[in-house]
Structure 1
């Protein structure tokens, strides 16, 4: 995970998502108890049957689910197949982008019409 600069890894068996392993999982389930990361089975560390979202799910819904359940990563499945992972960082970047567009739109409106325009 460190070498590839990712904070989560999906566990797939026979093209089926069976779990997710996060940096937090590794810290809590391997490092804190003093286990050897090289010999600890992934099945002992992963969260089995993770909550997933679909590509057409709304970003607001993903954000609400992440906040309510304390998730930082959600696997994205399309017709049962993994197509990606959305992270809290992805959500924040999209929110910032949307807010910037809103500010640009408002500034354009204000500058074009002016007060009382």
Structure 2
């Protein structure tokens, strides 16, 4: 079973993108667009204080008729950040993301941030694992019938 740490370490880019809570939502959106990501960690003094996702923007700026240039990240971020430890399995991560209806999950090693997992990262890994198992079973079946 793959761990959250292994998935983070296997990602082509292990960069962690963050923004301070005092930044504008517009600046956060620019960063997300530039990096091709759907969420950004909100960090202050090296600590996670929140997370801002495209969903937060849609629900707390657009639908509330706010301006992204005038609204600060701290005003719309999700401040109760759910995270996992690096040794948790991808199945545990998927279950947590499904239960809480979230698409991004920080991975921690104690106080240290290892990276961020997206639902896409987990789906890709789980499909890869299942494909490996299928190939092994097919090899076993064909090898055993000779």
TM-score (norm 2): 0.75
Residue 109 of structure 1 corresponds to 140
Q: Which runs of 5+ in 1 are unaligned?
A: none
Q: Is 1:21 aligned with 2:52?
A: yes
Indicate the SS of the match to 1:71.
Answer: coil
Greater relative contact order (Cα 8 A, min sep 6): structure 1 or 2? 2
How far, CA to CA, are the matches of 1:110 and 1:82 in structure 2? Answer: 43
Indicate the SS of the match to 2:56.
Answer: helix
Residue 57 of structure 1 corresponds to 88
**Partner residue of 1:44 out of 61, 65, 75:** 75
**Count of aligned positions:** 115
TM-score (norm 1): 0.93
What root-mean-square deviation, in Å, do the aligned CA atoms of Structure 1 and Structure 2 show? 1.1
